Amino acid sequence: MTTAERQLLSGDDAVALAALHAGVRLGTGYPGTPSTEILETFDRLGGHAQWSPNEKVALEVALGVAFAGARTLVTMKHVGLNVAADPLFTAAYTDVEGGLVVVSADDPGMASSQNEQDNRHYSRAAAIPTLEPFDSQQAYDFTLLAFEISERWKIPVLLRLTTRVCHAKTIVVPRGPVAGVAEPRFEHKIPARVMIPAYAKPAHHRLRTKLAEIAAWNEAEGPIRIDAGDSTLGIVATGISAVHAREAAPEASHLTVGMTYPLPIERIRAFAAGVERLVVVEEGDPVLVEDLRAAGIQAEGKPEMYRFGELDVARVRRILAGDTSPEAVPPKGKPPELCQGCAHREVFQALRDLDCIVAGDIGCYTLGVLPPFSAMDTCVCMGASIGVGLGLRHALPEDQARRVVSVIGDSTFVHSGLTGIAEMVYNPPATGHLVMILDNGTTAMTGLQEHPGTGRLLDHSTTNKLSFEGIARAMGVQNVQVVETTDKSLSLKDLIAELLAKPETSLLITRQPCVLAAPKIRFYDKAAAESARGHTCSAAVAD
Amino acid sequence: MEKVKNIVIAGLGGQGVLTASDMLAEAAFRAGFDVKKSELHGMSQRGGSVSSDVRYGEQVLSPMVPAGEADVLLILEATQIEINRPMLRAGGVLIGPDLLPEGALKNKKSLNVALLGAVSTVLDIPQEHWMAAIYANLAEKLHKVNDQAFAVGREAALQGSIAQH
Ligand SMILES: Cc1ncc(C[n+]2csc(CCOP(=O)(O)OP(=O)(O)O)c2C)c(N)n1
Ligand code: SF4
């Protein structure tokens, strides 16, 4: 085979290429490791991709695209699906016209996440058909398949990836652009899209019928792979665990499930009947094994210790051997730290020196929790800093309440900080409160993505820009201040102390570009200025 | 089936570990092998430990090198040797930054490519695929300095004896 036909792609890149080939009209999402590269690559390949303020909005925009009859892809990390869960559950009731594929990139082992939730539970809870690829070829194939299923049954489809599938590069042979993708066009289909109880009741029945049909399809022709081997051991696996298992037990019989919800349970039952011992190898929670047992298939799961962290070949060997002896602890590497020159450093120095109680949030600045700062007391999910800070203020004795500060990044503020500010204005604590937005002009944590506060689109071209200070003033925050962190005439510590002393609501925006983003931002600004000049010239000629 | 070759590349964020593993994977890919490469790159840009696995052969299953099964361990930063040593198999080859004589590199940033030059002496990937893979992963103005770096690393490996563990 020539290299022109085969490509070495990450799973994320493979999904992007498939989205392009599937004729996706618009890709939406919010950055989150390990999903971020999908939309970036889709844009680079010439697709139309947009960052939304958060995952809920991303899914809603995509739903609109699907109702318009066009294909759409929504990408997010696993916790993003919590944010998007509200539209997801009811989108499942609607009839989508164009294919709607939701990518959830799970992070077992928490390489870069705050939890290791297993989003296969969402498939079952929201009744969303789910495909789980084990390598980039499958990521490509399953993306195309997901669109077919989504349009055939007019249902959103979940493509569940995990960190290793997203980031591992493996060989892909693409099929090329799909022909015959429908053009967008609106038709009124009120009962299929307006989920008032009168329409939602039949819609729920329709959903269950769709799932039964999809299950029958999965039994008949769904993506299953069987590697027949020794009949003493049969292994049922899915996703990345399947390749670990095939390597760990090459002599065994293997059944790899591609569509894991709804399951092809009869095919699994037939496979189980042909082997003496059946083991389910899956990362994360015991989801598949419980489904099999509920269907009356006798299957062994894994010991509880393997629920935690990623699986690998060695761990699968241990699972098969029933080995529950303590695992060797891998030596600890050097932890990451805030870059030298990072403006977050100044902020956490000041908060440490003032002995503040810091309700933190998620981003690069979460590294303020580590020495030498140790200046973060809580961190739960994006946006939680504001609510948690307010709760602390309401409950703590006054001398402690006065030291509470909420610290949030700029991307995180747009994602889910606005409602926190509304809460602060609506239910101000007796001691007031201080929220700090650490505005470094980018979504640094996930690799420098744009957001509505940067004034640039996903492809870094210019667009409208949200004004955080304008928003806060309009919402009624009493003190709104903006400072440049580099301003040497300024004592950040004194300013924070001053705001903490007031029993008022305050927002302090500290502004300085992330040192990794700064050269890029200068480059984008220059390009924008040049194109604006070019634009004026040609306009002048036209005039 | 031919045995899969396992290579682990490790260092600190910003040293070019991921670029080096991209280059190696691409070289093996161009040579016609099945290839998988994988790493965790969550916070690598903040200077923490980074490591990346590359596997190639007739058919590769898991994208991760099992501990104790690396044929080659390539380390860009001396402090990362002990942390990653458990990855190496008995009789595997360790290539560290001390392989290169002091001041051998015109540009310190090309350490990753220099050490790939050393690795190239112990892997069955033809030279032309190495160069094509390296060029494909670098801006053109960097090609020349990295040509030299690759040659320096290769020479150092051929001259000295690479440590077998
Ligand atoms: C619901 C959800 N979506 C996405 C993420 C991934 N994520 C973590 S922090 C972050 C944003 C960081 O940007 P910002 O707040 O600007 O802080 P910075 O890293 O730039 O300091 C993102 C996208 C997440 N943890 N949770
Ligand atoms: S990447 Fe930017 S925001 Fe993150 S630590 Fe470095 S300078 Fe700070």
Distance from CA of B143 to the nearest CA of A (A): 22
Handedness of CA A5, A9, A12, A16 (dihedral sign): negative
CA B163 to CA B93: how far, in whole Å?
6
**Does residue B120 sit within a domain?**
yes
Q: If you measure CA to CA, which chain B residue comes closest to A11?
A: B38
**Does residue B164 sit within a domain?**
no
Angle at A216 (CA atoms; ends A212, A217), nearest 5 degrees: 115
Q: What is the pLDDT of residues A291-315, one digit of tens each?
A: 999 999 999 999 999 999 999 999 9
CA B123 to CA B74: how far, in whole Å?
13
For range A382-401, the mean pLDDT? 98
Six token digits for residue A139: 């990521």
What percent of chain A is modeled with pLDDT above 70? 98
Q: How far apart are the first and last CA of chain B?
A: 25
| Residue B107, pLDDT score | 87
CA A312 to CA A91: how far, in whole Å?
35
Task: List chain B residues with CB under 8 Å of A333.
Answer: 48-49, 51, 80, 83
Please give the residue that has the higher pLDDT: either B40 or A314: A314
Domain spans, chain A = 7-221, 224-321, 344-526
Q: What is the pLDDT of residues A461-511, one digit of tens each?
A: 999 999 999 999 999 999 999 999 888 899 999 999 999 999 999 999 999
Counting the structural domains of chain B, the total is 1
Six token digits for residue A24: 């996706």
With an 8 Å Cβ cutoff, are A169 and B45 in contact? no
Q: What are the residues whose beta carbons fall under 8 Å from the beta carbon of A22, sequence distance 6 or more? A: A71, A99, A143, A144, A147, A178, A181
| Residue A488, pLDDT score | 87
Q: Is residue A442 in contact with ligand 2, taking CB distance under 6 Å?
A: no
CA A348 to CA A315: how far, in whole Å?
40
The closest of A183, A182, A204, A200 to A191, measured between CA atoms, is: A200
Task: List chain A residues with CB under 8 Å of B38.
Answer: 164, 167-169
**Does residue B26 sit within a domain?**
yes
**pLDDT confidence of A66, banded at 50, 70, 90?**
very high
Chain position carrying tokens 């924070």: A496
Distance from CA of A31 to the nearest CA of B (A): 12
Query: What single-letter amino acid sits at B131?
Result: M
For range A323-348, the mean pLDDT? 91
| Residue A540, pLDDT score | 41
pTM: 0.96
| Residue A539, pLDDT score | 42
B3 touches chain A (CB under 8 A): no
Give the residue from B8, B40, B62 with the most A CB atoms within 10 Å of its CB, the best one to mutate: B62
CA A203 to CA A222: how far, in whole Å?
25
With an 8 Å Cβ cutoff, are B40 and A335 in contact? no
For A72-86, A331-345, A502-516, which range has the lowest pLDDT when averaged over its residues?
Answer: A331-345
**Does residue B25 sit within a domain?**
yes
For range A155-175, the mean pLDDT? 98
Q: Which one of B25, B38, B82 has the shortest CB-CB distance to A8?
A: B25
CA A178 to CA A156: how far, in whole Å?
19
Q: Is the peptide bond before A372 cis (omega within 30 degrees of 0)?
A: yes
Q: Is residue A448 in contact with ligand 2, taking CB distance under 6 Å?
A: no
CB B76 within 8 A of CB B112: yes
Chain position carrying tokens 């103005």: B141
- On the 0-12 / 13-18 / 19+ scale of CB atoms within 10 A, B150 is buried
Q: What are the residues whose beta carbons fall under 8 Å from the beta carbon of B20, sequence distance 6 or more? A: B9, B52, B74, B76, B112, B113, B115, B116
Six token digits for residue A411: 């991307």
CA A438 to CA A189: how far, in whole Å?
45
User: What range does the domain containing B103 cover?
Assistant: 5-159
Q: Chain-wide mean pLDDT for chain A?
A: 96
**Does residue B165 sit within a domain?**
no
For A3-7, A122-126, A370-374, which range has the lowest pLDDT when averaged over its residues?
Answer: A3-7
| Residue A494, pLDDT score | 97
Task: List chain A residues with CB under 8 Å of B30.
Answer: 3
| Residue A536, pLDDT score | 53
CA A330 to CA A343: how far, in whole Å?
33
CA A437 to CA A405: how far, in whole Å?
11
Superfamily of domain A7-221: Thiamin diphosphate (ThDP)-binding fold, Pyr/PP domains (3.40.50.970)
| Residue B42, pLDDT score | 56
- On the 0-12 / 13-18 / 19+ scale of CB atoms within 10 A, A181 is middle
HSE at residue B139, side-chain half, CA atoms within 13 A, is 2
CATH number, domain containing residue B108: 3.40.920.10
DSSP structural state of residue B99:
G
A7-221 matches A224-321 in fold? yes
| Residue B43, pLDDT score | 59
CB atoms within 10 A of CB A171: 21
Please give the residue that has the higher pLDDT: either B45 or A377: A377
User: Which of A349, A516, A520, when mutated, tests ligand 2's pocket best, judged by the most ligand atoms within 8 Å of its CB?
Assistant: A516
Six token digits for residue B129: 């695929």
CA B85 to CA A519: how far, in whole Å?
37
**pLDDT confidence of A111, banded at 50, 70, 90?**
confident
**pLDDT confidence of B14, banded at 50, 70, 90?**
confident
CB pairs under 8 A between A and B: 99
The closest of A4, A261, A18, A311 to A138, measured between CA atoms, is: A18
Q: Is residue A440 in contact with ligand 2, taking CB distance under 6 Å?
A: yes
| Residue A20, pLDDT score | 98
CB atoms within 10 A of CB A2: 6
Edge-to-edge strands of the sheet including A357-359?
Answer: A357-359, A404-409, A433-439, A505-511, A479-484
Give the residue from A5, A167, A310, A440 with the most B CB atoms within 10 Å of its CB, the best one to mutate: A167
**pLDDT confidence of B163, banded at 50, 70, 90?**
low
CB atoms within 10 A of CB A226: 14
Distance from CA of A331 to the nearest CA of B (A): 5
Q: Is residue A438 in contact with ligand 2, taking CB distance under 6 Å?
A: no
A235 touches chain B (CB under 8 A): no
Query: What are the beta bridge partners of residue B50?
Result: B11
For range A43-60, the mean pLDDT? 98
A170 touches chain B (CB under 8 A): yes
Strands (DSSP E) found in A298-444: 357-359, 404-409, 433-439
User: What are the distances in angstroms from CA B162 to CA A182, A424, B4, B6, B155?
Assistant: 60, 64, 21, 17, 12
With an 8 Å Cβ cutoff, are A3 and B30 in contact? yes
**Does residue B100 sit within a domain?**
yes
For residue A469, report the distance from its CA to the centre of ligand 2, in Å.
22
pLDDT at A260 over 70: yes
CA A300 to CA B163: how far, in whole Å?
44
A333 touches chain B (CB under 8 A): yes
Cα A41 from chain centroid (whole Å): 16
Distance from CA of B5 to the nearest CA of A (A): 14
Q: Which one of B38, B41, B62 has the shortest CB-CB distance to A313?
A: B62
Q: Is residue A409 in contact with ligand 1, taking CB distance under 6 Å?
A: yes
| Residue A240, pLDDT score | 98
**pLDDT confidence of A535, banded at 50, 70, 90?**
low
User: What are the distances in angstroms from CA A370 to CA A58, A440, B157?
Assistant: 33, 20, 40
CA B70 to CA A128: how far, in whole Å?
40
Parallel, antiparallel, or unpaired: how do β-strands B5-12 and B70-75 relate? parallel
Six token digits for residue A178: 């799909």
Q: How many residues does chain B have?
A: 165
CB A297 within 8 A of CB A278: yes
Pick the CATH number of A224-321 from 3.40.50.920, 3.40.50.2300, 3.40.640.10, 3.30.565.10: 3.40.50.920
With an 8 Å Cβ cutoff, are B48 and A337 in contact? yes
For residue A193, report the distance from its CA to the centre of ligand 1, in Å.
32
Edge-to-edge strands of the sheet including B34-39?
Answer: A7-10, A169-172, B34-39, B49-57, B5-12, B70-75, B88-95, B163-164
CB A165 within 8 A of CB A137: no
Q: Which one of B22, B39, B46 has the shortest CB-CB distance to A336?
A: B46
CA A440 to CA A365: how far, in whole Å?
10
Q: Is A80 helix (H, G, I), strand (E, B) or coil?
A: helix
Chain position carrying tokens 């697709």: A47
What percent of chain A is modeled with pLDDT above 90? 94
pLDDT at A543 over 60: no
pLDDT at A537 over 60: no
Q: What is the pLDDT of residues B59-99, one digit of tens each?
A: 999 999 999 999 999 999 999 999 999 999 999 999 999 99
CATH fold label, A344-526:
Rossmann fold (3.40.50)
For A122-126, A411-415, B79-83, which range has the lowest pLDDT when averaged over its residues?
Answer: B79-83
